[in-house]
């Protein structure tokens, strides 16, 4: 009798797969929510590996910790995803989870879902249903494939639910809100009290612009990266630019690092930890970015956002008037820096900060 009860009450095991900077930030609130009801095993694929792209987040986002680091590192898409697939399969066979949880749209997300589906394991996709409708973006291919493999689809927004409906995905689609909003609510006070970044960079609130760039379409094409850098320099604005390693490589490859050396108003710095970066976002006058997560965080902090792309998955921020798609043309970017002002009011687009709890509740019901 006891053993039957023990079997019925057996704690279910969830394997979460992460690998890139934004996924550590998304996984933390979910890990916290799962803690008392599930056994979670976190696998870091090793897609990001520099200290300031990986370890800094495990140091700050306590108690997030990885049980495995697969050490895959950088390579071409096929090679990187293939290596992840091989190594993930071994761990999944060993761990025998009841569900595999994947986040967002990176190669780690695709490999996690593919490894799981081939082993007939259940898959949950956090940040499901996002679409840019641009198949040249590697992330778009990853999102579409993962959504069609997933058993439980945790959508942040109504638009993402609608996208899935249009592709015929109707079952087990849950609009839970955005887990990145959960993270911001968990960490913004700590960022406020512990980050010294404004002092360190000698910045006053609202006197500077914050810029991040890392999309392949912006970094790998010389014309596009040159055009964005030209806009930053010619705007004459004080700009802080924490540079992603991919972008650093291409700034050097395209000779733009030399141009930036002669432009003291554009401050090139290393990628920052989450707490410092939140502080810089919150106090920026405007944010220029091609990042998905940063577009949302700009909205959470009520900072106007200029998105250096032609499309966005976070379309509701544009519709709400807080985000403008400016592409890469210097005149368009400079004009928006000077003239883009959002409305005074904001709608709550991303839930109530309890998305992770909702995910846990759903999984408890579905896996019981
Ligand atoms: C990846 C994701 C992207 C996500 C971004 C978050 C894919 C296809 N892309 O892009 O969706 O928005 O992470 O930041 O999964 N590099 C280092 N050190 C590192 C990591 C990367 O030097 O720790 C350099 C390497 O030269 C590498 C390049 O950056 O080739 C690109 O890294 P990769 O992980 O392939 O893609 P990201 O551009 O980081
Ligand atoms: N971020 C950070 N330090 C930085 C730049 C970004 O901590 O120097 C955080 C940011 O707060 C957000 C996430 O990283 O939560 C966004 O990651 P990124 O832009 O690399 O990827 P994307 O969201 O586009 O996939």
For the chain, what are the domain ranges?
2-178+351-366, 187-339
- CA 340 to centroid of chain Cα atoms: 25
Closest approach atom of ligand 1 to CA 80: 35
Residue among 106, 136, 247, 250 to mutate when testing ligand 1 (max atoms within 8 A of CB): 106
Query: Which residue lies with its CA nearest to atom 35 of ligand 1?
Result: 74
Whether 66 and 40 have beta carbons less than 8 Å apart is answered as no
Number of CB atoms found within 10 A of residue 183's CB: 28
Altogether, the residues listed in the chain come to a count of 368
Pocket around ligand 1 at a 6 A CB cut-off: 20-22, 47-50, 53, 74, 105-107, 138-139, 214, 245-246, 249
pLDDT of residue 9: 62
pLDDT of residue 187: 98
Please indicate whether residue 156, judged by its CB atom, sits closer than 6 Å to ligand 2: no
77 is catalytic: no
Whether 46 and 72 have beta carbons less than 8 Å apart is answered as yes
Q: Which residues of 140-154 are buried (b: 16+ CB within 10 A; e: fewer)?
A: bbbbebbbebbbbbb
Apex 151 CA angle, 76 and 17, nearest 5:
40
d(CA 271, CA 51): 10
Please indicate whether residue 314, judged by its CB atom, sits closer than 6 Å to ligand 2: no
Retrieve residue 252's tokens. Answer: 């050097």
Closest approach atom of ligand 2 to CA 244: 8
Please indicate whether residue 183, judged by its CB atom, sits closer than 6 Å to ligand 2: no
Closest CA to 126 of 213, 14, 217: 14
pLDDT of residue 10: 86
Closest approach atom of ligand 2 to CA 273: 7
155 bridge partner residues: 175
From 44, 48, 125, 214, active-site residue: 214
pLDDT of residue 5: 47
261: Cβ–Cβ under 8 A, 6 or more apart, which residues?
Answer: none
Please indicate whether residue 272, judged by its CB atom, sits closer than 6 Å to ligand 2: yes
d(CA 176, CA 294): 20
Instruction: Name the CATH topology of 187-339.
Output: Rossmann fold (3.40.50)
Tens place of pLDDT for every residue, the chain, 368 residues?
444 544 556 899 999 999 999 999 999 999 999 999 999 999 999 999 999 999 999 999 999 999 999 999 999 999 999 999 999 999 999 999 999 999 999 999 999 999 999 999 999 999 999 999 999 999 999 999 999 999 999 999 999 999 999 999 999 999 999 999 999 999 999 999 999 999 999 999 999 999 999 999 999 999 999 999 999 999 999 999 999 999 999 999 999 999 999 999 999 999 999 999 999 999 999 999 999 999 999 999 999 999 999 999 999 999 999 999 999 999 999 999 999 999 999 999 999 999 999 999 999 999 99
Number of CB atoms found within 10 A of residue 194's CB: 12
Question: 187-339: same fold as 2-178+351-366?
Answer: yes
Please indicate whether residue 124, judged by its CB atom, sits closer than 6 Å to ligand 2: no
- Asked if CATH classification 3.40.50.2000 holds for the domain at 2-178+351-366, the reply, yes or no, is yes
d(CA 161, CA 130): 8
Closest approach atom of ligand 1 to CA 249: 26
Query: Which residue lies with its CA nearest to atom 17 of ligand 2?
Result: 22
Please indicate whether residue 293, judged by its CB atom, sits closer than 6 Å to ligand 2: yes
């Amino acid at each position: 009798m006891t053993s039957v009860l023990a079997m019925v009450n057996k704690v279910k095991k969830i394997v979460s797969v992460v690998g890139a900077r934004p996924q550590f930030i998304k996984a933390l609130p979910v890990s916290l929510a799962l803690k008392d009801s599930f056994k979670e095993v976190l696998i870091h694929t090793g897609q990001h590996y520099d200290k300031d792209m990986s370890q800094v987040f495990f140091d700050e986002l306590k108690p997030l910790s990885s049980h495995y680091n697969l050490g895959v590192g950088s390579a071409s898409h096929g090679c990187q995803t293939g290596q992840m697939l091989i190594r993930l399969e071994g761990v999944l066979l060993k761990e025998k989870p009841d569900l595999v949880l994947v986040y967002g749209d990176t190669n780690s997300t695709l490999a996690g879902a593919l490894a799981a589906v081939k082993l007939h394991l259940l898959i949950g996709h956090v940040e499901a249903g996002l679409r840019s409708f641009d198949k040249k973006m590697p992330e778009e291919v990853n999102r579409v494939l993962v959504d069609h493999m997933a058993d439980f689809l945790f959508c942040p927004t109504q638009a993402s639910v609608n996208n899935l409906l249009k592709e015929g995905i109707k079952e087990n689609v849950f609009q839970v809100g955005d887990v990145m909003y959960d993270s911001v609510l968990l960490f913004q006070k700590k960022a406020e009290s512990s980050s010294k970044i404004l002092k360190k960079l000698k910045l006053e609130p609202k006197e500077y612009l914050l810029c991040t760039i890392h999309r392949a379409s912006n970094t790998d094409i010389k014309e596009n990266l040159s055009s964005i850098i030209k806009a930053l320099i010619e705007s004459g604005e004080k700009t802080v630019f924490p540079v992603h390693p991919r972008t650093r490589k291409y700034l050097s490859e395209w000779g733009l690092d030399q141009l930036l050396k002669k432009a003291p108003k554009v401050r090139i710095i290393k990628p920052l930890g989450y707490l410092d970066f939140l502080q810089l976002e919150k106090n920026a006058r405007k944010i220029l970015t091609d990042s998905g997560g940063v577009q949302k965080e700009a909205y959470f902090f009520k900072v106007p956002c200029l998105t250096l792309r032609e499309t966005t998955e976070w379309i509701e921020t544009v519709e709400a008037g807080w985000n403008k798609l400016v592409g890469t043309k210097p005149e368009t970017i400079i004009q928006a820096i000077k003239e883009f002002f959002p409305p005074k009011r904001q709608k709550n687009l991303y839930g109530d900060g309890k998305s992770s709890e909702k995910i846990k509740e759903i999984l408890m019901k579905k896996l019981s």
